[in-house]
Structures are given as structure tokens and as C-alpha cells.
Chain A
Amino acid sequence: MVFLTLKVLYHLLTPKVFSSMKKTILYLKFALLSSVVFGQELKSIDSTLMSIDANVGELKDELVKEKPSPSTGQSIFEDSKGNSAIFLPSGGTFRLNAADASLKFSYADRVSTKKLFYGFDVSGKTNDGLFSLISNGNISPGTKVNGIIGLQELFHKTNLFDGWLALKVGYEGSSFKLFNPESVFTNQIKKTSFNTFTSSLAFNLRIGGNKLLALSVGYQKVNNYSDLDELELTDTKTINDSVSNTTRTYMSKVKARTGDYKVSDQVPINIDFFWTPNNNPRIGFYHYLRTKFSAGKATNGFGSGLYLLKKNNPLSSAAGIVFEVSDISKLNDGFGNNFTINFIVAYNFGFTNRNLH
């Protein structure tokens, strides 16, 4: 029956139809062959991708050691001028001090079996405050660089205390413009540079697990730039063009300060005390006294701060607010001149070190 049907079909098929069927079979063969080849190619691509995935996995495992972790917590406890007797000899921090209009980066290198540790800090600031930096870029820049050498584990045997010493030696430089209306016109605006070597010796004492007392004594030259009156001077110039009979006027603005500019030697003594409650290590209290001996007289100030500390890392502050009276003797002049509120914000950064030896 089947044979008969095929025979009938064979006779019914014209050469044209037969040719068409041959072509169709050829296409089917080609499609089958292509899919097999394509399938093998896909398998090859798949195995290549799996190999790449395995390699990426291995690379990822290797990179885990290099994954940067946030670095925080060094000398974030400081007054509105960026001064502190507290020095924590570990890690690095990068912080913005809004009151001092400064950015500071600090780092210390420390090995557990060595008594000595080393470090540095670098800070840049504008003498005219943060607002001038943001508003028009017309700033008076200043820079501080400190090298640090320290002695750690001063009370190694006892578990009750721990102490360390840090000697900072550095350089501070800044540049600004002073205005003197009494001078001849061309010399009224004077560009002035201020440079000084700075030094300080800090002693830090950790008492129990939640108190840190620090004392520092230093020497440096200081100026009274921040006490001078701030001015914005405007120079107006006019150009006349006789040919076109046109007058052109243009202005240039300069920020300067005026007053009796003085430079003097200063011996600052800083006492800082930081503590956290026994039952709540997320909150830190910071108190400090500042005494400055300069030009034969002493200036006393104090401050008190409240910090929100990071969970499981209570020497790292997420944020802080510090209230400060810079000169107790001028309290009667009003709070406006002597009272400062300083917001301190820490920005965490990561850095890597592959060499674990």
C-alpha cells in the first residue's frame, strides 16, 4: 500500500516539483549541519565564559585582600582652629573642619612590636573662611605640614592605663592681602606671606576603656590676621577712545584685611579630655582647655563637644558639634565675638596595601 502510494506520487511529481524538493532537502541538510556547528560553537563559547568566570572568581578572591576599607578616626577631636592634644596613632583620616575652613589628611605608620611610630598630617585652609571658598574662590590660602614621631605603650605592664607621646614638627605657610589707607596709593594693597616652623609635644593617657586625657605643649609664630577687619576693595578704571568717542569702565575686586597686623611668638598649652559613658559607647563627650602665651600675656579659652560615634568603632566619629569660647577675658564683650559653634564631619576614605609582610 505504501509502495503503491509512493509510486503514484513519483509519477505525479513533475521534474519541476522534484527539483524544488531537492532544494528543500538541501536547505534542511544545510540547516541541520549549521545548527550542529553552531551548537558546538555555543558549547565552546559557554566553556570559554565559564573559564573567564572561574578566572574572575580567582581574581576576585585575590582582590578581597586589596578591597579598601574605610579609614577614619585620627585627631578628629579638635577645636575650631584645628588644634588638639589628642593624637591617635593609627590609620588615616580625611576631614573637613567648617569653622577652620580647612581640609586635613593624616596618617600614622605603626608596628605592634616597635616602641616608635611615625606619621604625618597635611592640611590646607582658606584664611577667609569656608564661605569665601564656596562663594567666589577669592581666597587667602594656607598650608600646614607636620611630621610626627611617637613613642607608644608607655605603661605596657598594667592593664589599667595606656599612654603614648607624639612629637610634631612642621611648617605652616599662608598668603593674604593687607590694606593700609595711610600708604601711598600704589602701596595700599600689600600681598603678605606668613611662614613659621611649628612644633608640639603631646602626651596621651588612656584610663580604663573609656577615658582619654591628653596634654600638649608647643611653640610657633602666630599672626593676628583673623582679628583684622575684612574689606572688599573695588578698583574702577575708565578708558576713553577718542576715535569712536566711547568711554569703557571696568572693575576689579580684591579681598583684603585692614588693621594693625602683628606677628608674635606663641607657646600654646592644650588639655583635652574625651570620654564615653560605660553603658553607651556610641556617644562621646569632649572637653578642652586652651592657654596661649603670646607677647607676654596669656589667653585662656575652653570648649565642650558632643560626638556621635560609630558602632563598634568608638574612636571614630560620624559627626560632632563643639561649642567654644576662645577668650574667657572677652566674654563680657558679647558672645558674638568669642563664641564659636564648630561642626565636624568625617569623610571616610579607603586605601590599600598589598604587601602584608
Chain B
Amino acid sequence: MDKHKIEVRLQGEFTTIDVFLEGIEIPLREVNDNDYSKLYTEFEIQNPLDINVRLKGWIGMKWALSIKIDDKEVYSKNGVFDFKGFVSFTDTKSI
């Protein structure tokens, strides 16, 4: 397993945030209004990167997830909440 600098950024308004990378829940802090972030200088990744996300929010609310590894964006995903008010997805990304 290699250690990498990793930055996770999530934008939008949420009532629940579950973001897991490599099975580890990422503690995202709201650093600006509707802007959550977490930076690790050393994060162990076993290629490919496992991504697991569940978000709860409000209808019409736009959300965006961005993952940077070693200062380069390797994964991004965005969408808009529908009337159900939740989004859930699992993905992998080769680095």
C-alpha cells in the first residue's frame, strides 16, 4: 500500500454525509458555507481507490464531490437531489 496526499471536497447542503475511502469514513468539516473538506498528507491507498458515498439532502440541492490525490483531481461526481432526498453510490478509481 502506498501513502498519498489526498484531499476530499464535498459541496452542497446535507443532513447526512457518509463518505468512505478505502473503507475509512472521512471526517468532513464544513470549512465554508455548503463546502466540506478534509486533507490528509499521508493516506494509504491500495490501488484501485474504493469510494463509497451516501448523502441525504434537500430536493433541488446541487452537490459535488471531488477527490484530489497528490494535488491532482482523480475523481469527481455531481448531481442534484430529487424528491427522495438521498444519493448513494459506490465506485473505484485506478490511480
Residues of chain A lying within 8 A (CB to CB) of residue B80: 312
Q: Which residue in B17, B33, B86 is a CB contact (below 8 Å) of A92? A: B33
Given known contacts A71-B33, A73-B33, A276-B59, A356 and B7 CB-to-CB distance under 8 angstroms: yes
In Å, the complex CA distance between A113 and B18 comes to: 8
Residues of chain A lying within 8 A (CB to CB) of residue B38: 356-357
Q: Which residue in A68, A110, A209, A278 is a CB contact (below 8 Å) of B86? A: A209
Considering only residues 18-71 of chain B, those with a C-beta below 8 Å from chain A are 18-19, 25-39, 54, 56-62
Please tell me if the beta carbons of A313 and B7 are within 8 angstroms of each other in the complex: no
Please tell me if the beta carbons of B33 and A90 are within 8 angstroms of each other in the complex: yes
Please tell me if the beta carbons of A312 and B30 are within 8 angstroms of each other in the complex: no
Distance to closest chain A CB from B33 (angstroms): 3
Considering only residues 277-332 of chain A, those with a C-beta below 8 Å from chain B are 278, 281-282, 309, 312-316
Residues of chain A lying within 8 A (CB to CB) of residue B57: 209
Majority secondary structure of chain B interface residues (helix, strand, loop or mixed): strand
In Å, the complex CA distance between A153 and B86 comes to: 13
Given known contacts A209-B85, A312-B62, A110 and B30 CB-to-CB distance under 8 angstroms: yes
Residues of B in contact (CB 8 Å), total 39
B81: Cβ under 8 A from any A Cβ: yes
In Å, the complex CA distance between A312 and B17 comes to: 18
B90: Cβ under 8 A from any A Cβ: no
In Å, the complex CA distance between A56 and B56 comes to: 40
A70: Cβ under 8 A from any B Cβ: yes
In Å, the complex CA distance between A235 and B14 comes to: 58
Name the residue of chain B whose CB is nearest to the CB of A354.
B31
Residues of chain A lying within 8 A (CB to CB) of residue B30: 90-91, 108-111
Besides A152-B15, A159-B84, A281-B61, 19 other CB < 8 A contacts?
A69-B32, A71-B32, A73-B13, A88-B13, A90-B33, A90-B34, A92-B33, A112-B25, A152-B16, A153-B15, A164-B15, A206-B58, A208-B84, A210-B59, A313-B13, A313-B34, A314-B60, A316-B13, A356-B39
Binding site for A on B (CB under 8 A): 7, 13-19, 25-39, 54, 56-62, 80-86, 88
